[in-house]
Amino acid sequence: MSKKKNLSNKDDKISDSLEAQDVKTDIDDDNVSENVNVSENVEDKIDEEISKEDVVENQKKEIQELKDQLLRSLADAENLRKRTIKEIGDAKKYSHITFIRDLVSSVDNLQRALKAVPKDKSELSEPIKNLIIGLEIVENEIIQTFERHNLKQISPLGEKFDYNLHQAMFEIPTNEKEPGYVVEVSQKGYLLHDRLVRPAMVGISKKPEEETSEQKNKKN
C-alpha cells in the first residue's frame, strides 16, 4: 500500500510539473504574440507618418505650382493691359497719319505757288495783291493748325544731316559748309508727335574735288 501511495504522489508531482510547464509555455507564447503585435503597430504608425509626409509634400508642390501659374497669369494680364493702353494711345495719336500725308502734299503745292510770287509786289494789280495776301494768311493758319495738333514741319537748312529725318537727294560741293550739312531743302518734311510722316528732301554738302593738273591745263 505504501508503495502505491508513493507512486501516485510521484505521478501527481509529474503532472503538476507538466501543467506548470504548459502554463509557462502559454505565457511565453502570449508575450511573443504581444511583442509581434506591438512591432506591427509601430511599423503601421511609421508607414502612416511617412504617407502623411508624402501627402503634405505633394500638396506643398501643388500649391507652389498653382501660385506660379497665378503669378504668370497676373503678369500676362498686366502686360496685355499695358499693351492695350499703348495701342489705344497710338491709335488716337497716329490714326489720321494717312490723311495728313495727303494733306501736306496740297500744302506743298500752295507753298510752291507762293514762292513763285515776286518779292516786289508793287507792280502787281490790287486784286492780285489781295489774293496773294489771302493765300499767305491761309498758309500761316494751316501751319498753326498743324502745330496745335502736334504736326511739325522739318525744314533743316543749315543743320547736320540726320538720316532719321532727312532724305538726301543730291550732293553739293562747297567750301562754305563742312561735309554732311543740309545746304538746300527741296521739300519740307513733317513729324507727327514723334513719328515721321515724311522725311525732308535735302541736298547735302560735300568737299569739292581737287582739280588735277590735266583739268587745270585744260582751263588755261
Instruction: Look at residue 49 in the predicted model and tell me its pLDDT.
Output: 63
d(CA 132, CA 140): 12
Q: In the structure grid, which three cell numbers stand for residue 17, read together? A: 510539473
Reported as a single tens digit per residue, the pLDDT across 25-69 is: 554 555 545 554 555 565 566 666 667 777 788 888 889 999 999
User: From start to end of 114-155, where are the E strands?
Assistant: 151-154
Can you give the residue ranges of every domain in the chain?
Answer: 1-94, 96-210
Does residue 192 contact residue 156 with C-beta atoms inside 8 Å? no
Reported as a single tens digit per residue, the pLDDT across 147-175 is: 998 999 998 999 999 999 999 999 999 88
Instruction: Look at residue 2 in the predicted model and tell me its pLDDT.
Output: 46
Half-sphere exposure (Cβ direction) of 199: Cα atoms closer than 13 Å:
12
* Homologous superfamily, domain 96-210: Head domain of nucleotide exchange factor GrpE (2.30.22.10)
Confidence of residue 93 (pLDDT cuts 50, 70, 90): confident
d(CA 155, CA 87): 30
Does residue 206 contact residue 171 with C-beta atoms inside 8 Å? yes
DSSP structural state of residue 160: B
Confidence of residue 83 (pLDDT cuts 50, 70, 90): very high
Confidence of residue 92 (pLDDT cuts 50, 70, 90): confident
Identify which has the larger pLDDT, 14 or 80.
Answer: 80
What value does the mean pLDDT of the chain take? 79
Does residue 168 contact residue 161 with C-beta atoms inside 8 Å? yes
Single pTM value for the model: 0.59
Instruction: Look at residue 182 in the predicted model and tell me its pLDDT.
Output: 94
Q: Which of 20-24, 52-56, 214-218 has the lowest mean pLDDT?
A: 20-24
Q: In the structure grid, which three cell numbers stand for residue 23, read together? A: 502554463
**Which residue type occupies 35?**
N
